[in-house]
Chains A and B, each alone.
Chain A
Amino acid sequence: MRSYSAKILTGQPLRLAITIAGISLCIVMMLFLLAAYHGVANGSVEYIRKNRSDLWVLSSNAWNILRGTSILFTEDTYDIENIPGVESVSSVLFLLTGIKKGDQQATVYLTGFDPEAESGGPPRIVEGRSVENDQEIVLDGAFASKFHLSVGEVIKVRDTELKIVGLSGGTNALVIQYAFVTLHRAHLIVGYPGIATCFLVNAEPGADLDAIADEIKFELNGVAVYDHETFLKNNIQELQTGFLPFIYTIAAIGVVVLTTILSLLLSVNILEKRKDFAVFKTLGSPRGFVSGMIISQSIMISLAGCLAGVILYFPLVNFIERVTPEISTKTSFLQIISVVAVVLIMSVVSSLISMQRLRRIYALEAFS
Chain B
Amino acid sequence: MRITSHQKNYVQLEGVNKTFIDGDREFHAIKNVSLKASPGELLVLLGPSGSGKTTLLTLIAGLLSPTSGSLSLFGRSVEGYSNKELQLLRARRIGFIFQDFLLIDSLHVIENIAMVLRFSGMKRSDALTAAGKLLDQFNIGHLARKLPSKLSQGEKQRVAVARAIANNPELIIADEPTASLETSQGFDIIKLLHNYAVEEERCVIVATHDLRIADLADRVMRVVDGEIQEECSGPIAEINQLIVVGS
List A residues at the B interface (Cβ < 8 Å).
1, 3-4, 7-8, 11, 273, 275-276, 279-280, 282-287, 289, 363-364, 366-368
- Which residues from chain A contact B105 at a C-beta distance below 8 Å? 276
Cα distance, A363 to B94, chains bound together (Å): 14
B90, A283: Cβ atoms under 8 Å? yes
Are B104 and A286 closer than 8 Å at their CB atoms? no
Q: Is the CB of B98 within 8 A of A279?
A: yes
Further pairs besides A282-B61, A282-B63, A283-B116: 7, Cβ < 8 Å:
A4-B104, A279-B102, A284-B88, A285-B91, A286-B119, A287-B87, A367-B175
Contact A284 B92 (CB under 8 A): yes
Q: Could you say which residues of chain B place their CB within 8 Å of the CB of A3?
A: 107, 111
The answer to whether B115 has its CB under 8 Å from any CB of chain A is yes
Q: Is B196 an interface residue (CB 8 A)?
A: no
Residues of A close to B89: CB separation below 8 A: 284
| Cα(A280)–Cα(B111), bound, Å | 13
CA distance A11 to B115 in the complex (A): 19
B233 within 8 Å of A (CB atoms)? no
B64 part of interface (Cβ distance < 8 Å): yes
Q: Which residues of B contact A8 (CB under 8 A)?
A: 106
Which chain B residue shows the least CB distance to A8?
B106
Among B96, B106, B120, contact of A11 (Cβ-Cβ < 8 Å): B106
Q: B residues within 8 Å of A by Cβ?
A: 54, 57-58, 61, 63-64, 84, 87-92, 94, 96, 98-99, 102, 104-107, 111, 115-116, 118-120, 175
Q: How many Å from the CB of B161 to the closest CB on chain A?
A: 14
Asked whether A4 and B91 contact (CB < 8 A) given A285-B119, A367-B54, the answer is no
> For A287, what are the chain B residues with a Cβ–Cβ distance below 8 Å?
84, 87
Residue of A with least CB distance to B207: A367
Complex-state Cα separation, A368 to B58, whole angstroms: 11
Chain B contacts of A289 at CB under 8 A? 119
CB pair B90 A282 closer than 8 Å: yes
Given known A284-B90, A284-B92, A284-B120, contact A366–B102 (CB-CB < 8 A): yes
Assess the A283–B115 pair: CB atoms within 8 A.
yes
* Given known A-B contacts A283-B115, A284-B119, A364-B63, A4 and B87 have beta carbons under 8 A apart: no
Nearest 8 CB-CB pairings of A with B = A284-B91, A284-B90, A7-B106, A284-B119, A367-B54, A363-B63, A279-B102, A284-B87
CB atoms of B107 and A4 under 8 A apart = yes
Q: Please name all residues of chain A whose beta carbon is closer than 8 Å to the beta carbon of B87 when the two chains form the complex.
A: 284-287
- Identity of the chain A residue whose Cβ is nearest the Cβ of B61 in the assembled complex: A282
A363 to B104, alpha carbons, bound, how many Å?
15
CB distance from A161 to the nearest CB of B (A): 74
- Give the interface centre of B89, B105, B120 by most chain A CB atoms within 10 Å: B105
Contact between chains at B91 and A283 (CB < 8 Å): yes
Contact in complex: A276, B104 (CB < 8 Å): yes
Q: Which residues of A contact B61 (CB under 8 A)?
A: 282
A-B contact pairs, 7 of them (CB 8 A): A279-B102, A280-B115, A283-B90, A283-B116, A363-B58, A364-B64, A368-B54
- Contacting residues, chain B, for A7 (C-beta < 8 A): 106-107
Instruction: State in angstroms the CA–CA spacing of A323 and B46 once bound together.
Output: 77
Which partner residue on chain B sits nearest A284 by CB separation? B91
Of listed A8, A273, A284, A364, residue having the most chain B CB within 10 A: A284
Nearest Cβ in chain B — how far from A274, in angstroms? Answer: 12
